[in-house]
Structure 1
Amino acid sequence: MTKEKKNNQSLDKNERKKMINEKLAEQHSEAKVVRRIVFILTIVLFLLFAGLAGGGYFYIKNALLPVDETSKEEVTVEIPIGSTASGIGQILEDNGIIRDARVFKYYVKVKNEAGFMAGEYKLKPSMTLAEVIDAIKTGSVMQEVAFQITIPEGKQLTQIAQIIAEKTNREQKEVLKQLNDQEFLKTLMEKYPDVLTEKILDEQVKYPLEGYLFPATYPFYEEDPSLEEIVTAMLDKTRSVILEYIPLAEEKGLNVHELLTLSSLIEEEATESVDRAKISSVFYNRMETGMKLQTDPTVLYAHGEHKDRVYYKDLEIDSPYNTYQVYGLPPGPIANAGTMSIEAAINPADIDSLYFLATPTGTVLFSDTLEEHNRKKEEHITNQ
């Protein structure tokens, strides 16, 4: 190899080495830039998160403070019967008593506050959120309650009409007549379109408002409220309760009318100690297998009278409510149902039973087969 060739090779090696070093330097420089960018982005994101968290914290902290600590103004605020936490929060915000209705809603939920009482209150913008909540929980209202109407669970419309009549010095017939008046019903349907649907006007429905007047105690602050005011208070409560369950009911394929109908069957079949969810499951299992519900309370409702025992001759009544003759749910509710029965209607137990039997002691026995059911019936009912 000549000297000239050696020099050229040496030159080539130096150039390659130089190029490699330059490339490494370039890559090192790029890596530094990337690391710098990542570092800056991390700092920015951290500051942004901290800012949002801090801002959220100070916003909530500020929302919990009185609207005006120095104010001596008293504001008259009315909390309607059946108001939800969201509704109460909005009323308080609109009246300048609290800063933020959403914060009120979540504060109530986190603190597990409940038992808010309807009525008219004298509240001040200088009150803390805790003071406001305490006031509407203890019922520090402006007016004294003139009277109360208590509607127990499992009551039928005729019984509710009698309770209203006794409390308001009216005749039961007069009350029942207005509760079934078509024009009156249409007015209510316009006011509660998400609860009162055309289903209540079906010609097979015995009483349109059956099952829609929620069981609760209703305070009234006037000596002689109109029947419309009384029914409106009850429907306000029904709406506030039932709206929470509508999405779950729809998942089960039930509309509002069907939900209240199924809930009423569970309510009428239940005893104090019974697991309503199991009764609900039996009804679902029967409908899914194409069986009739065959529940005695529907027969009694069709007859329009209460009996301690249903006989075979009673089952022959020709009525769309007689679930020994018709398939599926009856045309409408047969009584008003409480929250426990409504929840059971949308959350049935996971059992395969097709039969249940209420014993004279109040125990309810569940069976998967007719043979098993008849055996229990023979043991606990026939031989009694």
Structure 2
Amino acid sequence: MKLTHLFRGATALALFLCVMLTLYVLNVYVDIAVRTILSPGQYEEVVVERGIQVRRFASQLEDRGLVSAATHFTVAYISQYPSSSMQAGLYEINDTDTLLTLVNKIARGASLLEKITIIEGWQWKQVKQSLHAHQQFTISKDQQILEEINRDFKYTLRGGKALISLEGLLMPDTYKFKRGISDRSIVKTAVSQQVNTLMHEWESRDKTTNYATPYQALIVASLIERESGFPAEYSKIAAVILNRIRVNMPLQIDASVIYGMGRHQARLKHSDLKRDSAYNTYTRRGLPPTPIGMPSHAAIHAALHPFKFGALYYVLDGAHPYRHIFTTSFADHRAQKQVQKQRSKVHTNR
């Protein structure tokens, strides 16, 4: 009798444990594959850092209240992808996502793309600041990047001579990327785009421009970009620069002088114009040694397809900011400076 009661008790306990285990497994299954992480209308983003362990990430989800138990995410991931590490990136969680769909997103690397924009005329130091502001980048040294760029492009751009600066080499544009990549990857993409654009324009260039290398055209394009904010006149600015080079006149471009000074200055003093540097286009003739910023496609096109006229001077149009009045003689230039000065006063007082 005692054995019978004992057997019945053991059977009942076993049945109870089986039921409880079944309910637990069912609950875990529902939590992983059926129940959505968020309530309707909610949205969250999660970051998977490079090299993070599954259990550590699961704990982060639990701390944020996105999973009821960290072990559920761990079980889901390891059971589905036992030999795969998680893909670093920024991931979205929609109100229809379950733990299983999140696991699949992370395992496939279906992360959100982040963006960085390089503005026309930006200097390399500004690009670098923008890159470094994105903490998800792994940061490279300038020399590291430059060595790779030289290996790929020095023969194309300078006939084999080494590039000494990254200035001007990146195409202004918006670039999308996944979190966790190196800044070198973004830079190389932007450089490839700039070189492709430059070489495409180089093939159809006006042969009277007489550039020795595509890199010289890139330098001129950077000067154009900094001199004018009005793309419709870029080709005229290009013509003035090339006309001055032909007659051995100093370019006298303030933006180049400022670049050589290493700091932005709204107005140059007379002493600044006399302070010699490789970028002082008042004390030295010809082009500066490198571009002074990142030129746009429009500026590159203008540098290689200049307007056909003999102008050697330009002055800001007093009534239209960013536009210029072009003249051939210094006497006409001086006269226009006075005219535009008066127009500027009238325009300002309206």
Equivalent-residue separation in structure 2 for 1:170 and 1:325 (angstroms):
41
Query: Is the partner of 1:244 in helix, strand or coil?
Result: helix
Is the CA contact 1:278–1:349 (under 8 Å) kept in the aligned structure 2?
yes
Equivalent-residue separation in structure 2 for 1:305 and 1:359 (angstroms):
27
Aligned residues: 232
Measured at CA, do residues 323 and 234 of structure 1 come closer, stay the same or move farther in structure 2, by a change above 3 Å?
Answer: same
Aligned mate of 1:269, from 217, 224, 227: 227
CA offsets 1:325-363 (integer angstroms, 9 cap, x no match): 111111110001011111110111111111011245333
Equivalent-residue separation in structure 2 for 1:322 and 1:261 (angstroms):
14
Larger radius of gyration: 1
Which residue does the alignment assign to 1:374? 334
- Once the two structures are overlaid, the 10-residue window that deviates more, 150-159 or 189-198, is 189-198
Equivalent-residue separation in structure 2 for 1:199 and 1:259 (angstroms):
15
Is the CA contact 2:167–2:290 (under 8 Å) kept in the aligned structure 1?
yes
Which residue does the alignment assign to 1:118? none
Which residue does the alignment assign to 2:203? 247
Whether 2:111 is the aligned partner of 1:153: answer: no
Please, which runs of 5 or more residues in structure 1 have no aligned partner?
Answer: 1-141, 203-207
Query: Is the partner of 2:217 in helix, strand or coil?
Result: helix
Deviation at 1:243, TM superposition (A): 2.0
Measured at CA, do residues 237 and 218 of structure 1 come closer, stay the same or move farther in structure 2, by a change above 3 Å?
Answer: same
Which residue does the alignment assign to 1:163? 130
Equivalence map 1:47-196=2 (5 Å) = 143-168=110-135, 178-179=141-142, 181=143, 183-195=144-156
Is the CA contact 1:155–1:336 (under 8 Å) kept in the aligned structure 2?
yes
TM-score (norm 2): 0.61
TM-score (norm 1): 0.56
Task: Provide the alpha-carbon RMSD of the alignment.
Answer: 2.6
Equivalent-residue separation in structure 2 for 1:311 and 1:200 (angstroms):
34
Is the CA contact 1:249–1:256 (under 8 Å) kept in the aligned structure 2?
no
Measured at CA, do residues 144 and 358 of structure 1 come closer, stay the same or move farther in structure 2, by a change above 3 Å?
Answer: farther
Paired-residue identity, %: 29
Equivalent-residue separation in structure 1 for 2:119 and 2:156 (angstroms):
21
Query: Is the partner of 1:243 in helix, strand or coil?
Result: helix
Measured at CA, do residues 162 and 338 of structure 1 come closer, stay the same or move farther in structure 2, by a change above 3 Å?
Answer: same
Deviation at 1:265, TM superposition (A): 0.5
Is the CA contact 1:263–1:345 (under 8 Å) kept in the aligned structure 2?
yes
- The aligned amino acid for 1:241 is T
Which residue does the alignment assign to 1:363? 323
Aligned mate of 2:180, from 211, 219, 224: 224
CA offsets 1:156-199 (integer angstroms, 9 cap, x no match): 0111111111123579xx66xx12x1x54222222334445454
Please, which runs of 5 or more residues in structure 2 have no aligned partner?
Answer: 1-108, 346-350
Is the CA contact 1:200–1:209 (under 8 Å) kept in the aligned structure 2?
no
Measured at CA, do residues 326 and 200 of structure 1 come closer, stay the same or move farther in structure 2, by a change above 3 Å?
Answer: farther
Equivalent-residue separation in structure 1 for 2:274 and 2:265 (angstroms):
15
- The aligned amino acid for 2:306 is P
Equivalent-residue separation in structure 1 for 2:166 and 2:130 (angstroms):
15
Equivalent-residue separation in structure 2 for 1:152 and 1:248 (angstroms):
26
CA offsets 1:253-307 (integer angstroms, 9 cap, x no match): 2212101100000111112365111111111111111111111111111112223
Measured at CA, do residues 250 and 258 of structure 1 come closer, stay the same or move farther in structure 2, by a change above 3 Å?
Answer: farther
- The aligned amino acid for 1:163 is S
Whether 2:291 is the aligned partner of 1:333: answer: yes
Is the CA contact 1:293–1:323 (under 8 Å) kept in the aligned structure 2?
yes
Equivalence map 1:256-335=2 (5 Å) = 256-272=214-230, 274-335=232-293
